[in-house]
Structure 1
Amino acid sequence: MFLPEHLHRIAVVGVGCCGHNTINYIKKELDDNVDLFVFDTDSRGLESDERVTRMAIGQQVTDGRSAGAIPSVGEKAAHASFDEIKQHLTGYDMIFIAGGLGGGTATGVIPVLTKMLSEEECLCVTIVTTPFGFEGKKKQFFAQEAITKINATSDSCVTVSNQKLLHTMPKSSTLIEAFESSNQVLKRSLLGIYSLISTTGYINLDFADVRTVISGAGATVIGYGQGVGEYRIKQAVETALINPLLEDYDLEKAKAVLINITADHSLRLDEIHLAGELLTEKIESEIPIIIGTVISDVPQDDIKIYAIFSGVEKKVSNLLKPKGI
């Protein structure tokens, strides 16, 4: 991928086990100029290499072990290593933070990181997963508490509901396949935003465009769709909007929308117009809409669409506080 020279520094931070997995998934797909970090309370498997800086945090709090599914332990660990973490994350234009909420480490650490970065001149995008239903209401509650804190301090927070994702999978899916699917969606969400500013297109989206859409936005959702053939635009847009991860959010109340279209050289002007028209039917006419296009070596007649709706609100929250907390 091409990283514009004027975009000085980007970092991707994985927190906890899920965040660590995300870094391992995406490190080969990011430009070498993007710095990668892993922060975890569990010191096992945290040896740094030439591509990734891995750091065990809060060792005096956890004694090198996990946070034991207790977010307050993760939070204490982050504060114990606050100065060292801040030293690593100072001087960036944009930082992505990835992790799985509901346990102890990411749930406790990520809100500390987003608050830290909110005091810097740095665009912060947080992408997190929430627990599967079978993981219990307590983890769901912890995750929601963390999301509330993250939305208040991160420029943008993309939430991937593992439970919603489960509904899209065959009943015969294994546990490994379920978590693999979750990791793939988290990875795609992160790369979807990153690619907007790292890939040269005919209608370019740059760092300023992305900042306009996600700076101070809070809750953000990403629709992703693919289409092929004569009706590829309609197919791609419908796939992006039917995404079950979007259905809990009121897209009409989005504060801004960013649309990125990737296709081969056959992309027509009327197709770009149709994509914008179909997507903007879902939102109020006054909000900012930014469209970018990339002509790529995708298979002939294929098209990919990322639609990022920032500053959205949930329609209804069914999340209940578990008894005994």
Structure 2
Amino acid sequence: MEAIYIEKPHQIEVINKEEPSAKENESLIRVLGCGVCGTDLKIFKGETLATYPLIPGHEIVGEIVKSKTFEKGTKVTIDPNRPCGVCQYCREGKIHLCENLSAVGVNRDGGFAELVSVPNEQIFALYDNIQVKDAIFAEPLSCIIHGIDLSNFSYTDDIAIIGGGAIGLIFAMLLNRFSVGKTVIFEVSQEKMEFIKNEFRLEIDHPDNNPKSRKFDTVFECSGTISGFETAYTLVKKGGKIIDFGVTPKGSKSKEVEPFKIYSEEISITGSYVNPFTMQRAVKILNSNEFFFQKLLTDVGDLSEITKYISSDKKPFLKASYINQ
């Protein structure tokens, strides 16, 4: 089979590789699509604790080829993360903080291939009529649900979302459905602002245009930049909440955030990391056929094209994905 293969950091190519076989309690999946995530770029650069050599890719949708648990041909997605179950955090129910957390596409071969083998407990069945280009968003959607859970937002909250990429837009889609307060996306790219206004009819603005007096109950930082985090800090109301969802570079620091303001205005800042116990809800949202995400998939390609994305650090307009159909 063909697969993207990272031998070691900065060494990536498409190779012909022996097809995987499903071990006991695993299923063999034919990959229909696999989204490109920032984690894949970090694996290529050697900036994360991946196990090399490796086939990357963890945002997987496919169909069952061989399984003792799932019927052949069943359309599925996966939760890539696998906790150890025995560390302190796992035993406290904080499986996403597991000291030995491993993941498909990070510590074992993933979805940038024609076939992938996955443990059965990490596989979730989808309705057959769910489009592949929607189902690719299952794993990011599960992470977003966790971020919303952490916010404990009230349905009357005014909400700001920093960053108009695919993640920020999914936050906005969900929150617009479940909140009667105002939801505003803040984005610095004029091109993205115009696209979002035309395609999604969501409220979007440049941070510089926001009046100083306009504040928000809950702010979701989705840009993964220090400037985005600082924007969230300036937009949050007294007594408000910031959910830090975007992944800023490790070691980056802000010079604008003042601990006294956090104390005196009772601002809550919470990090949101991966997807504990939320994949089933993500699948239910997809299976409901009430939310459609494929408009966010602006850059698609085969394995060779996705290899170029990963190796060149080329950023998609919103979201890139390998499609194998």
TM-score normalised by the chain length of structure 1: 0.29
Larger relative contact order (C-alpha < 8 A, sep ≥ 6)?
A: 2
As a proportion of its length, which structure holds more helix? Answer: 1
